Chains A and B, each alone.
Chain A
């Protein structure tokens, strides 16, 4: 069974923000809400400054789910962490719990006044009929049900951001690391999913 994951390859990210733009456009995300954004790590440190695209990582053991007082989160069969905006009370606990700063709180639009949380859905919509106008209004487009992958990953100009079945994206990343001989660090992977992608096999290959 597919298990959806994101990887951002910091060796490749050029901070073009096409991922954030694609996300905004695909889901018509309101002004002031950023489901995905590009951040700079080690800012100003010569040789160590990197850019990384960050959104909800759909963690294996999601802290947002654990702290939600109204139990509005759920995990799909593909491992995508989604939430029910009809149940959300906008308390913000998830925002404090999330290590990636993913939960957003719109101040305008459909859910602005009631303070519903909004976040990346891995382009998988939410608890409404797939592809329906209601689903689009609340959660954005459901690309997974169209047989497509998240718009941010598919639009990434350098393919720094990989999204899809965890085995597939980890294998693509592993091949890259072996080919270039460096940059095996995956920002956020350990926090979100536990172990790094096939780290031992990468290290063994690079040692040869």
Chain B
């Protein structure tokens, strides 16, 4: 009886845990391609090669600096 109650409680609480929601969670392939792999049929920004993760990250950081107008004016 006690054993059955423990098993029942374990089953009932099984849904209370956190679900791994990373792109490739436990046993889950969400089918999204990484951004650094590039996109077909589009005109990419210049200065990086699709498929090169390091180049893509460098591109994103350098493009982010275009939002910094202090880089464009004399201080």
Contact = CB atoms under 8 A, between A and B. Distances in A.
Interface string A1-22: 1100000000000000000000
B57 A131 contact: no
B17 to A, nearest CB: 12
A109 to B, nearest CB: 22
A168 B61 contact: yes
Contacts of B18: 66
Interface string B13-26: 00000110111010
Contact of A145 (B21, B25, B38): B38
A179 B59 CA distance: 27
A76 interface: yes
Interface in A174-201: 175-176, 179
Given A76-B32, A147-B47, A147-B48, A71 B64 contact: no
Given A165-B60, A168-B64, A169-B64, A129 B35 contact: no
A78 interface: yes
Given A82-B32, A127-B31, A73 B44 contact: no
Interface residues of B, number: 37
Given A147-B48, A148-B45, A179-B70, A127 B65 contact: no
Interface of A: 1-2, 65-66, 71, 73-78, 82, 84, 124-132, 142, 144-149, 153-154, 156, 159, 162-165, 168-169, 172, 175-176, 179
Given A75-B22, A146-B45, A164-B67, 5 more contacts: A76-B23, A77-B23, A129-B40, A159-B69, A172-B68
21 contacts: A1-B57, A2-B61, A66-B18, A74-B30, A76-B32, A128-B32, A130-B37, A130-B40, A131-B38, A144-B35, A145-B35, A145-B39, A145-B42, A146-B38, A148-B45, A149-B60, A159-B67, A163-B64, A165-B61, A165-B64, A168-B64
Interface of B: 18-19, 21-23, 25, 30-45, 47-48, 56-57, 59-61, 63-70
